[in-house]
Amino acid sequence: MTLTLYAHPFSSYCQKALIALYENGTPFEYRILDSEQANAEWEALWPIRRFPVLVDDGRTIVETSIIIEHLDLRHPGPVRLVPEDARTALNVRMMDRFFDNYVMTPVQRIVSNSLRTPEARDPQGVVEAREMLDRSYAWLNRIMDDREWATGEAFSLADCAAAPSLFYADWVHPVSDAFAGVQAYRRRLLARPSFARAVDEARPYRHLFPLGAPDRD
Ligand SMILES: N[C@@H](CCC(=O)N[C@@H](CS)C(=O)NCC(=O)O)C(=O)O
């Protein structure tokens, strides 16, 4: 076994990496970050303390988009997550950045704010995060009009980013019926077997969601 993933099933970025692994049935050792030993190994590998972290034959790879690019390059399978054509790949990377920066980041801001003590909370930050999510939903709704997946017909890195982003975004800031295209895309992502598996594996941890997980999905 050459690949080891340090991750937690309930983490959005870990789900993003897991989707890529599950899409291609790539074998890996799953080091779940739920023990002192696993946590110590992870922290030694990446003192920045963000997960997931991939170790490939002794080489440490961080940042989920780069982990997926690495898998696509070094452990390719039938589902190519970054297209070979450079121009198409650019669009995939652009959409990947969109989901990380303008969906997942505001979601994390809202969730992490709820974990703070009342004196340390940042209500204005939460307002701004919700405004960003509204803008993101509106833009995405327009562009998903004629697309099955984030960049068109092929499932890609961008959809790996989209799935957990939109999954959790809808929990913290529901996608309104005005954005039916986003709602439908989120449903397609939930029906994709790789993501459905990641969601199922995370079910036992739903009680940990600080804002309360809704009784759906
Ligand atoms: N830019 C990083 C973000 C990773 C990230 O934020 N992971 C979260 C879990 S979903 C984390 O490490 N949280 C730990 C913390 O905030 O202390 C990536 O793409 O991998």
- pLDDT, tens only, 26-65: 999 999 999 999 999 999 999 999 999 999 999 999 999 9
80-99: average pLDDT: 97
Q: How far does the centroid of ligand 1 lie from the alpha carbon of residue 53, in Å?
A: 10
Longest dimension (CA), the chain: 51
139-168: average pLDDT: 97
- Give phi and psi for 117, each to the nearest 5: -70, 155
Q: What is the predicted pLDDT for the residue at 102?
A: 98
Per-residue confidence band for 103, with pLDDT thresholds at 50, 70 and 90? very high
Integer CA distances (angstroms), 188 to 85, 86, 108, in order: 25, 26, 23
Residue nearest to atom 16 of ligand 1 (CA): 50
Q: What is the pLDDT of residues 196-214, one digit of tens each?
A: 999 999 999 999 999 999 9
Please list, in sequence order, all residues whose beta carbon lies within 8 angstroms of the beta carbon of residue 192, skipping any fewer than 6 positions away: 19, 155, 159, 163
CB of residue 49 inside a 6 A radius of ligand 1 = yes
Residue 178: Cβ within 10 Å count: 11
Per-residue confidence band for 1, with pLDDT thresholds at 50, 70 and 90? low
Name which of 201, 215, 46 is nearest 6 in CA terms.
46
d(CA 196, CA 201): 9
d(CA 99, CA 217): 20
Atom of ligand 1 nearest to the CA of 67: 20
Tell me the percentage of the chain whose pLDDT exceeds 90.
Answer: 99
Q: How far does the centroid of ligand 1 lie from the alpha carbon of residue 122, in Å?
A: 20
CB of residue 12 inside a 6 A radius of ligand 1 = yes
Residue 168 has pLDDT above 80, yes or no: yes
Residue nearest to atom 18 of ligand 1 (CA): 63
Q: What is the predicted pLDDT for the residue at 207?
A: 95
Tell me, rounded to whole angstroms, the distance of Cα 147 from its chain centroid: 20
d(CA 58, CA 41): 13
Alpha-carbon dihedral angle through residues 34, 37, 41, 47, given to the nearest 10 degrees? 70
Name which of 96, 82, 110, 210 is nearest 169 in CA terms.
110
